[in-house]
């Protein structure tokens, strides 16, 4: 027999076991992040070959490598309104095809200028695609493990970066620099087709947009094949009375404005510090007495620590207050960098300190998208994540430049002190965000009591 009851889709997902269908969504999102990272880093691995092929100095390629980051920042910001006017799945598919085609276009470059333009366009596609990943996986993950799942997806970037390095080492010497971009073009286009034909739209998005009940039921049957959805009406109880604004109107609404600004500050500061460290730390370690090989390997420990931190803090975020967990992660990262500045001459301790620093800083950065996904309502979730990513990319552009200025003006001690302060700033921002959320929750509780 059919049922005429209301089904809260969020509660329904929370009550189900993690199905093979949801594992499939997780796998596609993981691969999408991995491919994004592969394509974003590809140009860095072909610069040595291009220097020989085009007979140019490496300094010429600096703007080329920055072009992709600029494109990702712009793409993320542009995608916010697009997610609102279209659907998350549509934006993701079109963006994936765009950056695949633009990656293919890179093989026709004959100068740093033309390559830079193609990388800029590729970055636009990457930047627009990534925010939808977090929205999609968040809405199909049970609340009890949503943070851990999103952080696991973020670790796909490490796989993509490693795969790009391996592919560059195997393919470029044998087939030339163009093959790396061909791989980076084929994979996202294939994945875009998989996404288009097999993946659903975000669940709560469909409900809030009043999509036909049968379309929503068709998706939920993949999650719970034995459940009878005939005659069901799908709702999202917690958001039925929410403000019907969308996009930027939601992000800067009185209720969410403080939290939005603090998320922007958090992601900007964290990305600024991360790229600053990754850009200049090998040089500082060599000046402290490490060999080039040891300095490079020690820096890579930051990434390894980031994976451990992402999984650990994701687990903690599903059990304790998300803001507090991420704030403590930033404090851990800042304290580790401060310690590094005072122990730089003790090379035996560097791997351990850098591992802890990576767990704190990178682990915190991997966790912020999950915090944003949980913070925003359905009608502002994709736009909120997109704008946070866009603001954060600006920090990635400015970080390496600021690092050079800090070293020239204050030397190593001043560099480490500035980085430490920059990493601790997000902890303060998240405390302010938590206080603002608590204040609004108290106001809502009082209003509910008065209505009752």
* Cα–Cα distance measured from residue 377 to residue 384, given in angstroms and rounded to the nearest whole number: 9
288 to each of 294, 348, 401, 449, how far by Cα in Å? 11, 12, 21, 63
Ramachandran assignment for 210, one of left (phi > 0), alpha (psi -120 to 50 degrees), beta (any other): left
Domains 6-208 and 248-451 share a fold: yes
- Cβ 33 vs Cβ 187: under 8 Å: no
Residue 2 above 50 pLDDT?
no
Percent pLDDT > 90 in the chain is 27
For range 154-177, the mean pLDDT = 83
Instruction: Tell me if residue 202 falls in helix, strand or coil.
Output: coil
pLDDT tens figures, 234-262? 888 765 444 555 667 788 888 888 999 99
Asked if residue 96 lies in contact with residue 173, where contact means CB atoms within 8 angstroms, the answer is no
CATH topology of domain 6-208: Growth Hormone; Chain: A; (1.20.1250)
Asked if residue 93 lies in contact with residue 189, where contact means CB atoms within 8 angstroms, the answer is no
In sequence order, the β-bridge partners of residue 7 are 234
Q: Tell me the pLDDT band of 443, cut-offs 50, 70 and 90.
A: low
The CATH classification of domain 248-451, taken from the options 1.10.3720.10, 3.30.2270.10, 1.20.1250.20, 3.40.50.880:
1.20.1250.20
Tokens of 421: 């302060």
**Residue 445 confidence (pLDDT):** 55
The domain spans of the chain are 6-208, 248-451
Residue 315 CA to residue 151 CA, distance in Å, equals: 9
Would you state the pLDDT for residue 333? Answer: 93
Q: How many CB atoms lie within 10 A of CB 19?
A: 15
| Residue pair 102/152 in contact by the 8 Å Cβ criterion | no
In angstroms, the CA 50 to CA 198 distance is 39
Dihedral of CA atoms 30, 35, 41, 45 in degrees, nearest 10, equals 120
**Residue whose structure tokens are 């039925």:** 240
pLDDT tens digits for range 81-136: 888 788 889 999 999 999 899 999 999 988 889 998 999 999 899 889 888 888 88
Nearest to 150 by CA among 368, 323, 431: 368
More confident call, 196 vs 243? 196
How far apart are the C-alpha atoms of 83 and 87, rounded to whole Å?
5
Mean pLDDT of the chain: 84
Q: Give SS3 for 228.
A: coil
């Amino acid at each position: 027999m059919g049922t005429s009851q209301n089904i809260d889709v969020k509660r329904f997902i929370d009550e189900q076991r993690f199905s093979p269908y949801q594992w499939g969504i997780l796998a596609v999102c993981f691969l999408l992040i991995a491919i994004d990272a592969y394509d974003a880093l590809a140009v860095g691995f072909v610069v040595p070959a291009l220097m020989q092929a085009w007979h140019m100095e490496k300094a010429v390629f600096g703007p080329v490598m920055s072009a992709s980051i600029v494109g990702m920042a712009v793409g993320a910001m542009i995608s916010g309104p697009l997610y609102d006017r279209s659907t998350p799945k549509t934006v993701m598919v079109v963006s994936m095809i765009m950056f695949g085609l633009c990656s293919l276009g890179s093989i026709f470059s004959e100068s740093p200028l033309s390559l830079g333009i193609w990388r800029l366009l590729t970055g636009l596609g990457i930047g627009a695609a990534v925010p939808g990943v977090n929205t999609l996986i968040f809405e199909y993950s049970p609340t009890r493990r949503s943070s851990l799942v999103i952080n696991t997806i973020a670790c796909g970037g490490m796989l993509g970066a490693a795969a790009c390095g391996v592919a560059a080492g195997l393919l470029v010497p044998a087939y030339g620099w163009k093959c790396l971009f061909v791989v980076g073009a084929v994979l996202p286009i294939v994945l875009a087709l998989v996404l288009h034909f097999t993946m659903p739209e975000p669940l709560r998005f469909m409900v809030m947009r009043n999509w036909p009940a049968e379309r929503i039921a068709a998706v939920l049957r993949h999650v719970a094949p034995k459940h009878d959805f005939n005659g069901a009406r799908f709702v999202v109880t917690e958001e039925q009375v929410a403000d019907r604004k969308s996009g930027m109107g939601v992000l800067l609404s009185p209720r969410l404005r403080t939290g939005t600004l603090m998320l922007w500050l958090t992601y900007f500061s964290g990305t600024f510090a991360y790229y600053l460290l990754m850009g200049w730390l090998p040089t500082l370690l060599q000046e402290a007495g490490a060999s080039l090989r040891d300095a490079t390997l020690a820096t890579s420990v930051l990434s390894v620590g980031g994976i451990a931190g992402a999984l650990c803090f994701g687990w903690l975020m599903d059990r304790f207050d998300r803001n507090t967990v991420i704030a403590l992660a930033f404090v851990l990262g800042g304290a580790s960098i401060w310690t590094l500045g005072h122990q730089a001459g003790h090379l035996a301790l560097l791997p351990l300190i850098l591992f802890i620093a990576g767990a704190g800083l990178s682990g915190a950065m991997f966790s912020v998208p999950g915090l944003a996904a949980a913070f925003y309502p359905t009608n502002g979730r994709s736009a909120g994540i997109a704008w946070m990513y866009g603001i954060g990319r600006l920090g990635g552009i400015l970080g390496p430049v600021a690092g050079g200025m800090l070293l020239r003006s204050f030397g190593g001690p001043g560099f480490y002190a500035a980085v430490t302060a920059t990493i601790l700033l997000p902890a303060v921002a998240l405390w302010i965000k938590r206080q603002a959320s608590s204040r609004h929750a108290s106001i809502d509780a009082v209003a509910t009591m008065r209505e009752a």
